[in-house]
């Protein structure tokens, strides 16, 4: 098979958080058509155990450790070079050396880059077809962080938003094509980089509906007589942590007063200290990493996603819908999802009173299943169908190369 260089900012396994779900399925799909040469970082010590899973899909690999604390120090170089801090955070000379060696040895003509931070390694190879999967508009995420933080961090985050947008524009202009996670996300980028519009595309994420299947039997993780609300997500990710802290402090006490048996489960790996402290509040459980999130979804009365900082597609919402659960979420978490046809089982709330009113109908009786949710996910979020966009772009590149 033809060789392809695939660069990812974080090992694409296990597929248990947003970016790794997308990068894993992209890798698995590409491996059906190309000999993959994968370069990536490992920033979670537990992820070293998954090297063999990833190697099985690749012709060659380069795994390098990324220590978040050391990388934060390295990122400060951007303050005097003028770069976005994200770029030195993810730059390591050994990866550049590996990329250069693979490009020469394998005569690589196709490159797929996942996350803008990894594009710096292949800027020197314009002769290859370079496809950039931005996923989300990361620059806007930093700008949202700035609005939520006080001085001096708000100034640093605002600067990062500006500098990273400059870099995103540069990559979109110089690479052959760029991808985003939704039509909405692609549209926002085109508004900010109109000259790049002809080269901007998108493909939806997918859901493994065979895995997230409500007809499978899952043990109930909740004690008898409990009414369970659940939030799922990586709990060392600041937007997730901020969301559950706000919900626990602002919304849940009102709900708990109305329903004494109501419990809020925060399910996800690596909870921050501030998230762990929420477990001191009556009715709130912080699970940490769990071997399987599906039992918590299957037996919950309602899934909540109160993110106030969000970009792109929230996989946690798609997985809940695939499990036929009712969902109450913030408008920010729903950007990019056309869910109007789902009706009352998938609603948004902004003000505290809207959250309280939106939760209540789902707390009476046993948990309900909404088959229309799964049907909608199956129709719109199939990985094989959606990744056809990537196939089309790479095929067009092969056609042009043969013609030339």
Task: Give 26-36 pLDDT, tens digit per residue.
Answer: 999 999 999 99
The Cα 287–Cα 262 span in angstroms is 16
Give which of 391, 118, 363 is closest to 259, Cα–Cα: 363
pLDDT of residue 401: 58
With a CB cutoff of 8 Å and minimum separation 6, the contacts of 246 are 306, 308
DSSP class of residue 214 equals T
Give the ranges where 175-250 is alpha helix by DSSP (H). Answer: 183-192, 238-246
- Alpha carbons within 13 A on the beta-carbon side of 205: 27
- Mean pLDDT in each 10-residue stretch from start to end of the chain (404 residues)? 97 92 97 98 96 98 96 94 96 98 98 98 97 95 88 94 97 98 94 97 94 96 95 94 96 95 96 97 96 96 94 90 96 81 83 94 91 93 94 80 53
Six-digit token pair at 79? Answer: 């303050």
DSSP class of residue 7 equals E
User: What pLDDT score was predicted for residue 399?
Assistant: 59
Q: How far is CA 169 from the centre of its chain?
A: 21
In CATH, what number does 3-206+382-403 get?
Answer: 3.40.50.2000
Structure tokens at 100: 């250069």
The residue among 218, 53, 215, 27 whose CA lies nearest residue 112 is 27
Tokens of residue 211, six digits? 């895995």
Q: Where in the chain is the domain with CATH 3.40.50.2000?
A: 3-206+382-403, 227-380
The token duo for 263 is 């419990």
Report the C-alpha gap between 69 and 85 in whole angstroms. 14
What is the CATH superfamily name and number for domain 227-380? Glycogen Phosphorylase B; (3.40.50.2000)
pLDDT of the residue at 389 = 96
Q: Is 21 exposed, middle or buried (CB count within 10 Å of its CB: 0-12, 13-18, 19+)?
A: buried
Instruction: Yes or no: say if 138 and 114 are a contact pair by the CB < 8 Å rule.
Output: no
pLDDT of residue 311: 80
Q: How far apart are CA 185 and CA 381, in angstroms?
A: 16
Quote the pLDDT of residue 369: 94
How far apart, in Å, do the first and last CA atoms of the chain sit?
A: 21
Q: Which two tokens stand for residue 340?
A: 């109007």
Question: From edge to edge, which strands make up the β-sheet containing 177-180?
Answer: 60-65, 35-42, 3-8, 110-114, 129-135, 177-180, 200-202
DSSP sequence for 137-192: -HHHHHHHHHHHS-TTHHHHHHHHHHHHHHHHHHHHHHSSEEEESSHHHHHHHHHH
């Amino acid at each position: 098979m033809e060789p392809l260089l695939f660069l990812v900012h974080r090992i694409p396994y296990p597929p248990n958080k947003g970016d790794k779900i997308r990068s894993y399925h992209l890798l698995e799909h590409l491996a059906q058509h190309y000999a993959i040469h994968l370069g990536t970082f490992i920033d979670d010590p537990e992820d070293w155990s998954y090297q063999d899973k990833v190697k099985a899909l690749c012709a060659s690999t380069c795994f390098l450790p990324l220590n978040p604390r050391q990388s934060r120090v390295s990122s400060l170089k951007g303050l005097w070079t003028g770069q976005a801090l994200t770029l030195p955070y993810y730059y390591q000379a050994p990866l550049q050396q590996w990329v250069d060696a693979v490009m020469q040895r394998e005569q690589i003509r196709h490159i797929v880059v996942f996350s803008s931070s990894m594009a710096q390694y292949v800027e020197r190879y314009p002769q290859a077809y370079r496809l950039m999967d931005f996923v989300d508009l990361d620059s806007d995420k930093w700008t949202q962080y700035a609005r939520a933080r006080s001085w001096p961090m708000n100034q640093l985050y605002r600067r990062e938003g500006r500098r990273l947008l400059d870099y995103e524009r540069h990559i979109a202009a110089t690479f052959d094509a760029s991808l985003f996670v939704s039509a909405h996300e692609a549209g926002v980028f085109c508004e900010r980089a109109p000259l790049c519009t002809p080269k901007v595309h998108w493909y939806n994420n997918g859901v493994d509906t065979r895995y997230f299947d409500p007809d499978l039997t899952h043990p109930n993780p909740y004690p008898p007589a409990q009414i369970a609300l659940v939030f799922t997500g990586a709990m060392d990710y600041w937007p997730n942590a901020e969301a559950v802290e706000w919900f626990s402090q602002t919304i849940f006490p009102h709900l708990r007063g109305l329903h004494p048996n109501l419990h809020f489960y925060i399910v996800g790996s690596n909870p921050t200290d501030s998230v762990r402290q929420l477990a001191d509040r009556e009715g709130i459980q912080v699970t940490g990493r769990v071997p399987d999130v599906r039992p918590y979804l299957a037996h919950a009365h309602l899934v909540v996603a109160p993110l106030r900082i969000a970009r792109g597609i929230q996989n946690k919402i798609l997985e809940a819908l695939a499990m036929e659960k009712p969902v109450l979420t913030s408008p920010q978490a729903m950007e990019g999802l056309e869910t109007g046809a789902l009706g009352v089982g998938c609603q948004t709330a902004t003000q505290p009173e809207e959250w309280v009113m939106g939760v209540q109908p789902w707390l009476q009786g046993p948990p309900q299943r909404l088959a229309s949710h799964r049907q909608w996910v199956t129709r719109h979020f199939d990985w094989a169908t959606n990744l056809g966009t990537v196939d089309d772009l790479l095929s067009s590149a092969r056609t042009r190369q043969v013609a030339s």
